[in-house]
Amino acid sequence: MNEKEKDLPLYLEKLQALERRLSPNHPRYQTVVESYSRSIAGYKGEKSLDYYLSFLSKDNYTVLHNIRLHNGVYYFQIDYLLITEKYILLIEVKNYAGVLHYDPHFHQLIRTMNGKEVALPDPLSQIERQKFQLLTLLTKRKYPYTPIETLAVISNPLTILKTSNNQEDISRKLIHSGNLARRLKEIDDKYKETRLSSKEIKNLSKYLLKINQSVKLDILEKFNISQQELLTGVQCPACGALPMKRLHGKWLCQICKNKSKNAHQIALRDFSLLINETITNKEAREFLRLDSDATTKRILTSLNIPFTGVTKDRRYYIEM
Ligand SMILES: [Zn+2]
C-alpha cells in the first residue's frame, strides 16, 4: 500500500504542546483538554481503517491518507483517497457512537445516545462536496475522466446504523468499517473500463501529495491565549515538572531529581509548535529559563540546526 506515511497530525501535536504549557488553573485549560481528547478519538477512528485497507493489493490501489487540498478558494480535507485504474474512491471516517438514524429527506444524521437525540453533520453531503471539489481539480489538471465513488465509514463497531425503509442507496454509502472489504469488491465489480494508466496514477498521487497542504494553524489564536500566558522552562521528561534547572551541562528536575542531557529539545519543539518555527538566542534563553547567553548559544549550536543572520539577529530554525 503506497500510503502517505503519517505520524500524529500536526494539529494534535500542537494541542498536546498547548496542554503541557498551560497551568491547570488557566481559564481555557479544560477546553484545551477536551478538544484534545475529542481530536485524538477522531484520529484513532481514522487509523482503525488502516487495518482494513492493509489487505488491499498495492498493485491495484494507491491509498492516500488525510489529504488536504486547496481548490483556489478554500481548503477541503479527504480522510482516505484510493486511486485505482478504473475509479477513485473517497472515504470519510466518522467515529460516532450510539444509534445513528440517517434521514434522507432532510439529509441529517440523528444520533440517539443516553436517551438524547442530536443532529450530527451529514457525512454523505460532506463527502459529495469533497467529490465535487476533487472533480473540479482533476478537470482543471486535464486528467482523463475517472468516476469518483464515495463512502462514509463509521469506525466504531458498536454504533448502530438505521435508515428509513427502501433506502438501499444509503446503506451502500454509509457503512461500518467491517463491511469495507465487501463494499470495495462491489465497487470494483461495477467498473470495467480502464481510465488511468499506471503512469497517470503515479503522476496523480504525486501531484496530490505535492499540493497537500498541512494546516498552518495558529493554535494560540484559536484558543485566544497569548504567548505570555504559557508556562516557560524545560519540562522534566520523567515527572512532567517545570522548570528543570541547568547544572553542569545537564538538566536537573527539582522535584524528582531526574537528570537529562537533552530535555531542552522538547521545550524548543513546544516553542516551535506554539509560537514560532524560528527562535533567537534571547527568546530561547527566556523560554528555557537560562541565566546566560553563552549557555543558550552553546545549547542552540549543539543542536546543529540551520540558522540565518549573525550574532544578535541570528534566528535558528527549530527542526520539526
Ligand atoms: Zn521530575
**What average pLDDT does the structure give for the chain?**
89
Contacts 24+ apart (CB under 8 A), 7-13: 8/43, 9/43, 9/66, 10/214, 10/215, 10/217, 10/273, 11/39, 11/215, 11/217, 11/219, 12/36, 12/39, 12/40, 12/43, 13/273
**235 Cα–ligand 1 center, Å:** 8
Q: What's the pLDDT at 168?
A: 76
Per-residue pLDDT at 3 exceeds 50: no
211: amino acid identity, one letter: I
Q: Stretch 150-176: mean pLDDT, rounded?
A: 87
Query: What nine digits make up the cell of 233?
Result: 522552562
- Separation CA 253–CA 168 (nearest Å): 62
Q: What's the pLDDT at 7?
A: 57
Residues 221-249 as b or e (16 or more Cβ within 10 Å = b): eebebeeeebebbbbbeeeeebbbebeee
CB 68 within 8 A of CB 62: no
Give residues whose Cβ lies within 5 Å of ion ligand 1.
Answer: 236, 238-239, 241, 253, 255-256, 258
Q: What's the pLDDT at 320?
A: 57
**264 Cα–ligand 1 center, Å:** 14
Task: Please name each of the domains of the chain with its CATH number.
Answer: 10-211 (no CATH), 232-317 (1.10.10)
% of the chain surpassing 90 pLDDT: 61
**243 Cα–ligand 1 center, Å:** 9
CB 252 within 8 A of CB 239: no
Q: What's the pLDDT at 6?
A: 46
**246 Cα–ligand 1 center, Å:** 13
**237 Cα–ligand 1 center, Å:** 7
**272 Cα–ligand 1 center, Å:** 23
Q: Stretch 78-100: mean pLDDT, rounded?
A: 93
Rounded to 5 degrees, what are φ and ψ at 239? -120, -5
**288 Cα–ligand 1 center, Å:** 16
Close Cβ partners of 147 (under 8 Å, ≥ 6 residues apart): 86, 87, 88, 191, 195
Query: What nine digits make up the cell of 108?
Result: 441529517
Q: What's the pLDDT at 213?
A: 61
CB 135 within 8 A of CB 142: no
Close Cβ partners of 107 (under 8 Å, ≥ 6 residues apart): 122, 124, 125
Per-residue pLDDT at 30 exceeds 70: yes
Q: pLDDT by residue (tens digit) across 210-248?
A: 877 655 678 999 999 999 999 999 999 999 999 999 999
Q: What's the pLDDT at 2?
A: 33
Per-residue pLDDT at 319 exceeds 80: no
Q: What's the pLDDT at 216?
A: 66
Q: pLDDT by residue (tens digit) across 92-111?
A: 999 888 999 998 888 889 99
| Burial class of residue 315 (count of CB atoms within 10 Å of its CB; 0-12, 13-18, 19+) | middle
Contacts 24+ apart (CB under 8 A), 200-204: 200/143, 200/144, 201/62, 201/83, 201/84, 201/85, 202/62, 204/83, 204/138, 204/143
